Copies of this chain bind each other. A is one copy, B any other.
Amino acid sequence: MGPGPSDISPEVLASLSRPVIGHLDPLFVGMMDEVKALLQYAFQTKNEFTIALSAPGSAGMEACFVNLVEAGDKVIVCRNGVFGDRMIQNVTRIGAEAIVVDSPWGRAVETAKVEQALIANPDAKFVAFVHAETSTGAVSDAKALCALAQEHNCLSIVDAVTSLGGIELRVDDWGIDAIYSGSQKCLSCVPGLSPISFSEKAVNVIKERKTQIQSWFLDQSLVMSYWSGKGKRSYHHTAPVNSLYGLHESLVQLQNEGIENRWARHQTQHETLAKGLKKMGIEFIVPEDERLPQLNAIYIPEGADDVKVRNYLLNHYNLEIGAGLGDFAGKAWRIGIMGYAARSENVALCLTALEDALNQ
């Protein structure tokens, strides 16, 4: 019950042990087509370019930036936690300019400030933000931010690592242009894959680039033909076959449950957890209306020893909760109820175990 990797269902774990087959085997290629369709469902998009990148979410982030952004481009980057900061790193390493819009850690991105930045920088080409900040537990208004980007002729680049499958996320309805996620959060698959999706507008920007993409491995123009489903699959790199078995299985489970039901399940479990924490006098970092249900960031109660409590939970209950990150290191805990972990038995265990740990 940390900030991820989340618990994995027995079915997904079992799927990982299927014998490996070739990444160009017709059976495997058929499964890839299904993964693509299932990812389109998860993202709520019809984007043709919707794939699982063969590397973790941080590589998904870099793929979005290096494919779309060219040296000299201006990118408005919203920072309200660790991952906004990482976006800035990505932008500057391309030789592009990051216009940083800071919002307080533990709060949503301030839409009004982003609008000001867009007005002050009419030559900006992109707006980048984190939908669900894993480091603080705050959700930002992705719909409003994407609408703002569109109004100002900018493409949106969205981090959905912790949001995909956990809270409402509608790529097409909200007009998201480039989005990346991770397999190990609310999808409850093994860590190591990054679902990504590009709008037609984003694909055109890639096609019309003036400069070569600086990364060969992340150059999506080379990968498109492998995933295209049209004609011959051309070899780019050896796909992580067994991890993709797991992703396929976890996406089938998502489809069987129904994405809206899954969003609702995260909310229900969160409310039970929040009620129990309140009884114990524990306070949330994030105000209620900006709070992620799947990532509960709470202040460490006065007098409690951060490391001692987390070790007690791990050693006595086989239960992991996350430490604070960045500004919140040593000050907060992060309790994840993501995907398969968002169950009544987990929430009950967590509350009882935490109470016990605090009374030691």
Contact = CB atoms under 8 A, between A and B. Distances in A.
B62 A215 contact: yes
A7 interface: yes
B5 A216 contact: no
B240 A191 contact: yes
B93 A214 contact: yes
Contact of A16 (B89, B93, B213, B242): B242
A58 B215 CA distance: 11
A55 B5 contact: no
Contacts of A21: 5, 320
A17 B16 contact: yes
A5 B20 contact: yes
Interface in A174-227: 182, 184, 190-192, 212-217
A241 interface: yes
Contacts of A237: 56-59
A239 interface: yes
B238 A5 contact: yes
A326 to B, nearest CB: 10
A93 B213 contact: yes
Contact of A216 (B13, B89, B191, B238): B89
7 interchain residue pairs of minimum CB distance: A192-B240, A55-B55, A16-B16, A58-B237, A190-B242, A191-B238, A13-B17
